[in-house]
Structure 1
């Protein structure tokens, strides 16, 4: 049995839910794909696929087998590709996860330069503020804000971003401009950022050694950076935003900073990936490009990253 091609044929059928589509994408006759899958099932002594005249689906054993073998197959193909092509021309699919504001404001607008360097790579970007499960979500790397506490992951620092407390001019005209954080507790509404657990992110401001934690009241809370910006611009309350999100709107006059003398501690941004003694070429070049990108961002205070792995 051609084990590699059998596993590859099975994986493609699982992904497309069709022997015909799998055969077309592999540039093989349909009968060849069918025989490869049948030989694999015979070798494993279990049925991997349920077949009817209308659809193909994974059995329970097939789903478990695919989950384990898909990553191994991808690594196998990558090893062969890296032997066949120079490291300067990595190819294949790269799965990346990042917060929505990071994607829309920083990474995606700059991607043409990455595409020009590495045209053989294919990026699948997941946009979400929720933490990623590297195994379940099958991601290669993620961009995340805050301290990375999982010791099983590698975190390369991209830089630190500051915050701007601000509000729409219409909101300030109606409710007044606060002069002290304490006023945010009772006299104003906040637009709050909420986590999946339902917990709201407090606003921590300091000045000359004095620190105040503001919780305050809110009409609306959101769990997405772009939505946080939109709610602030709509005049729904005072909003505490990363500078890279707020600054363009401040410069355009759509948001107005308040409590400028009170500052929040900067937050670090990192690109995170699972440790691997031989980091894949596609992950390595993307991580290096991200570090370069963030170092050129005026809203970020760069930190010298440690050497890559």
Structure 2
């Protein structure tokens, strides 16, 4: 039984990633072993599950049916195991997560040791990038995203809102002066943030009388990474609009200044996204509850 379950897990990962090599790498198995297991599964079921070419692997009609039913079967089996895992130390398995570098650095990592001590048989695989990952295709259990979300097929759970700040370095203010009005910003520079270089530059965003408004600003630096965004501001290259995560320490030390508090943009929502499933694994439920508490505690400390 265990071998068949493992075969289904391997088949699912091949189908998700569209590659025997990538599936093997993600599971710590050789490409040959993965290929042999899928071939044996096809022989056992008496049907072809995958179309194989030198460049791609894709599901056959029978393979799609097997993929859908196998996911449900494995989720049900995980729930069956969890029924008897009454003690926290017995909850086990791998959690694959994705979140921004800042969220990982300031919210996840400080309390992760305690979480893993409480649940010693849970293992975490963490992706930290500003890239928008494909949750289902890349096999993530959940992702943390900040801002608007538009992912069909995913469950979105709102965790909190991140207060925003307009920030500049003392060196920048010394060179360009302290802005007090929106009109003053015509003499200032904005560090532009875009998800993909080559896109239209960002704008200064603010809320006035409950309405979202924008103001185009000049700038000489455009970045597509949160760390580079903050670093550019610290270096005096322009004004940024950033959430409190990661900026509190710089504000406390005086490395950054909070400017134009009357023209802040609206708080950014924090979402936890996960694929639609009939049942959530116990380990994912525990992580979701714990991470939400960690985030709320961090935001309270930022006030």
Q: TM-score range by the shorter chain?
A: 0.7 to 0.9
Q: 1:218 to 1:158 in 2, by over 3 A?
A: same
Matches of 1:267 and 1:221, distance apart in 2: 21
1:162 aligns with 2:163: yes
For residues 209-263 of structure 1, give each alpha carbon's deviation from its aligned partner in whole angstroms, at most 9, with x where no partner exists: 6875222011112222222111100111111111222221011111112112322
State the alpha-carbon separation in 2 of the partners of residues 129 and 210 from structure 1: 28
How far off is 1:80 after superposition? 5.2
Q: Is the 8 A contact 2:12 2:71 kept in 1?
A: no
1:26-175 matches, within 5 Å, as 39-43=40-44, 44=46, 60=57, 68=67, 75=75, 78-79=78-79, 81-86=81-86, 88=88, 89-150=90-151, 152-175=153-176
Q: Distance in 2 between matches of 1:241 and 1:59?
A: 41
In structure 2, the CA distance between the partners of 1:133 and 1:253, relative to structure 1 (3 Å rule), is same
Q: How does 1:1-309 map to 2 (within 5 A)?
A: 3-4=4-5, 6-7=7-8, 14=20, 15-16=23-24, 39-43=40-44, 44=46, 60=57, 68=67, 75=75, 78-79=78-79, 81-86=81-86, 88=88, 89-150=90-151, 152-184=153-185, 186-196=186-196, 198-206=199-207, 212-298=213-299
How far apart in 2 are the matches of 1:287 and 1:262? 33
Q: 1:63 to 1:175 in 2, by over 3 A?
A: farther
**How far off is 1:200 after superposition?**
3.5
Deviation at 1:59, TM superposition (A): 7.3
Structure 2 portions without partners, runs of 5+: 15-19
Shift of 1:202: 2.5
Q: Distance in 2 between matches of 1:263 and 1:35?
A: 58
Specify the SS of the correspondent of 2:5. helix
- Secondary structure of the residue aligned to 1:133 is coil
Root-mean-square deviation (CA, aligned residues, Å) is 3.9
Query: How far apart, CA to CA, are the structure 1 residues paired with 2:110 and 2:131?
Result: 22
Structure 1 residues 187 and 123: alpha-carbon distance in aligned structure 2, compared to 1, 3 A threshold: same
Residue 132 of structure 1 and its aligned partner are, at CA, apart by 3.0
Q: Deviations over 1:30-67 (max 9, x none)?
A: 9xx998666434334559799xxxxxx99736899699
Assess if the C-alpha contact under 8 Å between 2:192 and 2:202 holds in 1: yes
Equivalent pair of 1:218/1:237 in contact (CA under 8 Å):
yes
More displaced, 37-46 or 133-142? Answer: 37-46
In structure 2, relative to structure 1, the CA distance for the partners of 1:208 and 1:122 (3 Å cut) is same
How far apart in 2 are the matches of 1:205 and 1:35? 57
Distance apart, 1:94 and its partner CA? 0.9
Greater C-alpha radius of gyration: 1
Name the one with the larger helix percent.
Answer: 2
TM-score normalised by L of structure 2:
0.77
- Report the Cα offset of residue 292 of structure 1: 1.0
- Distance, in Å, in 1 between the alignment partners of 2:281 and 2:257 is 45
TM-score with structure 1 length normalisation?
0.75
